[in-house]
Structure 1
Amino acid sequence: MKLRQGIHRIATWFRHATNAVAAAMLAVMFISFLITVLFRYVLNWPAGWASELSTMMWVWLVLFGAAFTLGERDEIRFDIFYSNVPPLARRVMTVLFSFGVVLLFLMSLPAVYDYVTFMKVQSTSYLRVRYDWLYSIYVVFAVAVVIRYLWLGIRAALGHDPMVASEPKSDSNRG
């Protein structure tokens, strides 16, 4: 029981930390957007660096958020058919889909890694951030997707119905 509580504490801390990182990225993106507008339209100064920073934060926010902050229920999907089949069929579909996603991402991972590391030869125009650093978040995203869908597929194979809400309890509901 103590192991389970320890894992739950670590998972809760990780969830809060990733949400904080995503919020910080959103704040940086928003502030750099405001600076871009101020510099370009009010002061009539060039603001390429702020625009570039906003774009970089957007790339990182989308991929980091998809990897670490979005839950399975937050993802957009077309589930008219999926939600209207019996639980056994949903589990089978989840296992097959998860296997397919894991297989595709694992097959693409070596090429993705090679391409991202190759991009060290270029950097952004204003801030001079190397593209391999900028797009390294995609490798992290791909690994996170593999882990997430392995977990979902294994849980479905063991009998967990994917449609049953499995959201973690919020800290206010602990008791």
Structure 2
Amino acid sequence: MRKLAFWLSRGAEALAALMLAVMFGAFLVTILFRYVLNWPSGSASELSSVMWVWLVLFGAGFVLREREEIRFDIVYGSVPPWLRRIFLVITAVGIVGLFLLSLPAVWDYVTFMKVQRTAYLRIRYDWLFSVYVLFAVAVICRYLWLAGRAIAGHDPMSPEPEEPQTRAKGD
């Protein structure tokens, strides 16, 4: 199971890297078209914006680890592990509750937006915004998992287990 999680994690990182590369390429094309060739660059600019939205939400939902998130943790880091677990469970209940509460409205909005398309690339807005639904479900699953681990006694500040080795010994 850990190997599968490892490879899914690597796949998500590769997809995020691909989105970043596409966004950067579109950004360079926008600069070339607008400032060097003096041509319109709406499609490249729009692609860059679409990739930004997808990269941020996909990355936050599937690539970013709990330990890598930026937070104000002076109090959190100074309390004993049992209290950190309680903090995490309370936080998880709040986050999961809010995301579950908002999910039906988010779904309605995203599915409603199928009637509109982006200006240049003609991407349907329901496809464009669908990444937020994926993000919301990923956050719900992540915090349910974190709360379960905290309830089982795992200290949220303890080091994560090492990732499985993908190479044979001696490589």
Q: What is the TM-score with the length of structure 2 in the denominator?
A: 0.95
Q: Aligned equivalents of 2:161 and 2:39: distance in 1?
A: 48
Q: Deviations over 1:76-95 (max 9, x none)?
A: 11111111111111010101
Q: Aligned with 2:74: secondary structure?
A: coil
Q: Which has the higher contact order (CA 8 A, sep 6+)?
A: 2
Displacement of 1:171: 3.1
Match for residue 104 of structure 2? 110
Choose from 25, 41, 45 the match for 1:51: 45
Q: Aligned equivalents of 2:165 and 2:132: distance in 1?
A: 31
Choose from 10, 14, 20 the match for 2:8: 14
Choose from 122, 126, 136 the match for 2:130: 136
Q: Is the alpha carbon distance of 1:75 and 1:173 closer, same or farther for their aligned partners in structure 2, counting shifts above 3 Å?
A: farther
Q: Aligned equivalents of 1:157 and 1:174: distance in 2?
A: 36
Displacement of 1:39: 0.2
Match for residue 42 of structure 1? 36
List aligned pairs for 1:1-175, cutoff 5 A: 7-169=1-163, 171=165
Q: Aligned equivalents of 2:88 and 2:98: distance in 1?
A: 15
Consecutive unaligned residues of structure 1, counting only runs of 5 or more, are: 1-6
Q: Aligned equivalents of 1:174 and 1:76: distance in 2?
A: 35
CA-atom RMSD in angstroms: 1.5
Displacement of 1:172: 6.5
Letter paired with 1:77: R
Q: Is the alpha carbon distance of 1:133 and 1:36 closer, same or farther for their aligned partners in structure 2, counting shifts above 3 Å?
A: same
Letter paired with 2:115: V
Checking the alignment, whether the CA contact within 8 Å between 2:6 and 2:163 is kept in structure 1 is no
Consecutive unaligned residues of structure 2, counting only runs of 5 or more, are: none
Q: Aligned equivalents of 2:56 and 2:164: distance in 1?
A: 24
Q: Aligned with 2:35: secondary structure?
A: helix
Q: Aligned equivalents of 1:97 and 1:57: distance in 2?
A: 30
Displacement of 1:173: 8.9
Q: Aligned equivalents of 2:132 and 2:76: distance in 1?
A: 29
Letter paired with 2:62: F
Q: What is the TM-score with the length of structure 1 in the denominator?
A: 0.93
Q: Deviations over 1:100-130 (max 9, x none)?
A: 1001100100000000111111111000101
Q: Aligned equivalents of 1:154 and 1:61: distance in 2?
A: 28
Q: Aligned equivalents of 1:107 and 1:45: distance in 2?
A: 46
Displacement of 1:66: 0.6
Q: Aligned equivalents of 1:164 and 1:126: distance in 2?
A: 48
Displacement of 1:18: 0.7
Q: Is the alpha carbon distance of 1:20 and 1:14 closer, same or farther for their aligned partners in structure 2, counting shifts above 3 Å?
A: same
